[in-house]
Amino acid sequence: MPRPQNRLILISNDDGVHSPGLLALVEAVRGLGDILVVAPKEQQSSVGRGFLGGNGEIQEEDLGFTDLHVRVYSLKGSPALAARHGALLLASRKPDLCLSGINYGENMGAGITISGTIGATIEAATFDIPGIAVSLEVEEQYHHSHGASVDFSVAALFARRFASRVLACGLPPGVDILKVDVPESATGSTPWRITSVSRRPYYYSIIGCDADGRKKFTGYRREIDVDALEPDSDIYAFVVDRVVSVSPISITMRANVDPALLRRLLLDEETA
pLDDT digits (tens, 9 = 90+) for 199-218: 999 998 889 998 888 998 88
Between CA 83 and CA 117 the distance in angstroms is 11
Residue 172 lies in a domain: yes
* CATH number of the domain that residue 234 is part of: 3.40.1210.10
When mean pLDDT is compared across 3-7, 28-32, 80-84, the lowest value belongs to 3-7
Q: What is the pLDDT of residue 272?
A: 52
Residue 222 lies in a domain: no
Question: Is the pLDDT at 68 greater than 80, yes or no?
Answer: no
Residue 128 lies in a domain: yes
How many independent structural domains does the chain possess? 1
Tell me which DSSP letter residue 4 carries: P
Tell me which DSSP letter residue 113 carries: G
Provide the CA 84 distance to its chain's centre, in angstroms.
15
Question: Is the pLDDT at 157 greater than 60, yes or no?
Answer: yes
Q: Which of 196, 181, 200 is nearest to 256 (CA)?
A: 196
Partners of 8 in the beta sheet?
A: 34
Residue 265 lies in a domain: no
Which domain range does residue 126 map to?
A: 8-197+227-249
Residue 134 lies in a domain: yes
Residue 243 lies in a domain: yes
Between CA 268 and CA 198 the distance in angstroms is 31
Residue 268 lies in a domain: no
Q: What is the pLDDT of residue 3?
A: 59
Residue 14 lies in a domain: yes
Q: Which of 83, 75, 79, 68 is nearest to 13 (CA)?
A: 79
Between CA 86 and CA 102 the distance in angstroms is 18
